[in-house]
Structure 1
């Protein structure tokens, strides 16, 4: 049964129960659930504003309820504020952008119902007071990164810290594979751990994206906020005629395209031929360079939050995690330079000509920038699970969040 929006009295009741499930309608697209877990850690006297942590589960790849329960338990015992598990939907039935919409709907609900409202409202100032952090792994890690990069408006309550593990940050880099992977099942089924993620991720991409252009959307592949994809959008799957009329229509369209190519004197592959997937340039077959984007621009009014990024050395997602770290640091540096009004952005050779005091100042600032985007790599896949090593990784992440929020 769907729950109605909580009022202040209902919100106070949440603080007296250990956990509660809330069902939220997603307009005309069904509903999602949120599991609100109250902390078991001792309360903190240093937190002066309402603070909430949103946890986004792994998704259908390596889904394991016991691992999720272990992670939630450790977060509750380590952090003195509520942990909200946002149960977004992603499957053949709920393809992208549904999981993006689910996360945004759940995030808006958390702000409206778990943060405080100001006693006195003023024009141009948010009526809400509080902070939201987010963490997630695998598909949930990619969605958590999307939330951190877009919901961090200056002067508004929003994402102030993010922790992600093995996040899927760029679906365009997931290799296509038709090989059967014995430990992968359809979305919605629970699976055990695997030693390889490449095949499950490539199969999942085929199931949850209707068209190739959909996984080139930065909200689905958040690394594309910070850089280009380095390749063109691949052609859509060939059309399959259903009857004689469809066949005639397809032939006419093919004739039209051939005539247009001849009139334009375009030398290209015959219509319908498939381009090399890795060819970023259809003319010379050379891959395009992944160019950086100046994100966020000053016009957006965003200030990127600090991020804790981790991955396993054996994970196919480790390069994406490293790429995110480096590009975030560049964005932090640009924002720091923009905050120093009138201060020139120096090139490397100009920095070398500075005196020792100025160099020390630069090194201190660079160290601070590196600390805002912390990256950790461990052995194996490095998942958050209920093994001794996995629990240790969760505790390390929780310790980092506590340092940023308490």
Structure 2
């Protein structure tokens, strides 16, 4: 190893020790992680551990535990809803920045980075926009200009304060959709064509040259058949490669990581292989919305330990698979859970038939589950040569 590389490694070690407020471990004084948060443990690897934040829960004076954990346990935060278009611009031309600003200020006060979510998505679009398109009062040309203006306005406001932006979210269909052949789906593809994706990245880059710009989607944790007609991960990979070839400033791909214990899911090597194929393109990767839901059977609802315990163990295994895969790829920069407590989780309100829940790291009483302990142990015990400090990614021009 050349001297300059040893110097760089030493600098990382010193920085890590500073973050952890401790000296490097030795045989006579082993490293003790018991007092470290997930965020601090992630910093041993240069990895940011984040959570989506429910701003109503954060502001609730009767819920101090939520605020305390959001502030102390994580090194990055994502707005669960308040940066989506319908929240920011509920009436045309009138932006409401209060809650989005509050999240950014919360992160600044607590030394956290911010993932911006989301600039372009076919859901949670303001009603004035969709109704205007439907009745013809907003033309295709005007719609494109409205999208450009929205991206420019939002990214410019938070220029220099957002680390990663989810620029385009969930643009690709699923094999169970109609038609089953994978395609670009949703409001924006329908009305502007797939070219809106490249436009969105270019507009976001113009508004903030220093933010990392991500494409974000679900069901892309591992490759399947390799046929882009039915393998969503392959479709997204081919899309990213094409955007790069066209000079589009895409910096990363975010895999949401919404899993369920009732599914086969993946092993660590499958997920690692997928991350490394994306990073081989020169892209950063991230897990952006991790949770692992379970069926709330009658036995679970009745408190039957024989039904609850296997689900908790399966959940922990799935959280851990994604964490270990992220640690194994130096270009995986962040691991974000989509809410950290079952008290404030989107899952029960969305998956009702059959009912599902138990999807987060903490239960409704803010007690850490087995999943929390497993990803904590992944962060503690990981190290060279298989886990190395994160690679540096700079925004594409």
- Which TM-score applies when normalising by structure 1? 0.28
Larger of the two Rg values belongs to structure: 1
- TM-score normalised according to structure 2 size: 0.28
